[in-house]
Amino acid sequence: MHKGIRAVAVLAATGLAITGLAACSKSNTPAASKTPFVGVILPDSGQTSVRWETNDHPALEAAFKAANVKYDIQNANNDKTRFQTIADQMISEGVTVLMIVDLDSGSGSAVLKKAHDAGIGTIDYDRLTLGGGADYYVSFDNVAVGKLQGDGLISCLTAAGKTKANIIELNGSPTDNNATLFKQGYDQELKAKYDSGDYTKVGDQSVPGWDNTQAQTIFQGMFTTAGGKVDGVLAANDGLGNAAINVLSQNGLTVPVTGQDATVQGLQNILAGKQCMTVFKDQQLEANGAAALAVALANGQTPSGLGTITDTQTNQPVKFKQLAPQAITKDNVKQLVTSNYVKYSDLCTAAFVAACTAAGITAP
Ligand code: BGC
């Protein structure tokens, strides 16, 4: 997918201006300047979302190559001990910046503290490590992600003529700050419908570690408790959405289900009419933003154009490069193929060619 795409103007593309960067690259390199070497630890290889290896990994690689930065990208495979071991290795191999997607705030904070003590710059990528005190955070507006999901569910139910609906919420990991923010967003949008009695919440559970397999068991439990009377599902990402769709299908039901990450599976579920929407978060922009910050850290620069986010554990602000998410429905899936985010051949496999054509997606 992304390899090399938009790779060229990596710093410009992020919209980040790095004060004084041009001047210092010519001469007078400040004493603080080091040759950037970025270590990245990704969280898992698909148990929670395929995004990390399918999208983020190649996007980060392209961003570092374009910025001419040395890098080492590894995956903790959902294992906190391995996460720690990789961090130790990276610190001893001399990274100047450590970028992490934490598995939870406790283990993430321990790693950030070690890096900080070793004088290494730190970046939280996608997930804010509560209590971690990273130098920078790069992510999307995650409350906005949740709002798109809540609004998307309401739109799909309304389009289906459902004014009264029983809703199940299948939330992300209780130890991922993003899951908290997504829920804040969708509960805010659904509140009026719950308050008026139009919608009834018949289930609301979190999925430990976003585990897509366990999600199916958890959803099955809530579905059974609700006596199978479910009209809509707020699932926090495509993997959780697919778990819900499996149970619904086994029971002969098709109802609006939300998602996130614009994965091939999620997009195919949308084309097949089994999923109502997903949220597209362009990982190339996220990776470009992170690469620009890593360069800034190595050069002792102060990037401008950043906001802040409050770490709810320490009440301290963390410098935040915030990106905007986008809702995807059957009406605009096409855009992701046109922009080359997803390949026609990956999305429009034999079983989906007709649905692709119906959605205006044609072979290149
Ligand atoms: C990310 C989502 C992802 C989930 C599971 C969250 O922190 O923002 O994009 O689906 O983790 O990996």
- The structure tokens listed for 226 are 């609700």
DSSP 8-state secondary structure symbol assigned to residue 157: H
Q: What is the residue type of 131?
A: G
* Higher-confidence position of 10 and 44: 44
Of 270, 237, 239, 299, nearest in space to 22 by CA = 299
Q: What's the first-to-final CA gap in the chain, in angstroms? A: 14
pLDDT tens-digit profile of 265-310? 999 999 999 999 999 999 999 999 999 999 899 888 888 889 999 9
Cα of 362 from ligand 1 centre, angstroms: 30
Q: How far apart are CA 11 and CA 232, in angstroms?
A: 42
Pocket of ligand 1 (CB under 6 A): 48-49, 51, 126-127, 172, 176, 178, 210, 237, 260-261
Cα of 34 from ligand 1 centre, angstroms: 32
Say whether 37 sits in a helix, a strand or coil: strand
Q: Which residues pair with 39 in a beta bridge?
A: 72, 98
Cα of 196 from ligand 1 centre, angstroms: 31
Q: Which helix H or strand E contains 170, and what residues bound it?
A: strand 165-171
210 Cα nearest atom in ligand 1: 5
Q: How far apart are CA 138 and CA 281, in angstroms?
A: 12
Q: How many residues does the chain have?
A: 364
pLDDT tens-digit profile of 251-262? 999 999 999 999
pLDDT tens-digit profile of 84-101? 999 999 999 999 999 999
Residue 2 pLDDT level (bands cut at 50, 70, 90):
very low
The pLDDT, as a whole number, for residue 33 is 73
261 Cα nearest atom in ligand 1: 9
238 Cα nearest atom in ligand 1: 10
What angle, 0 to 180 degrees and rounded to 10, lies between the N-to-C axes of helices 238-250 and 264-271? 40
Question: Ligand 1: which of 42, 51, 149, 212 to mutate, judged by most atoms within 8 Å of the beta carbon?
Answer: 51
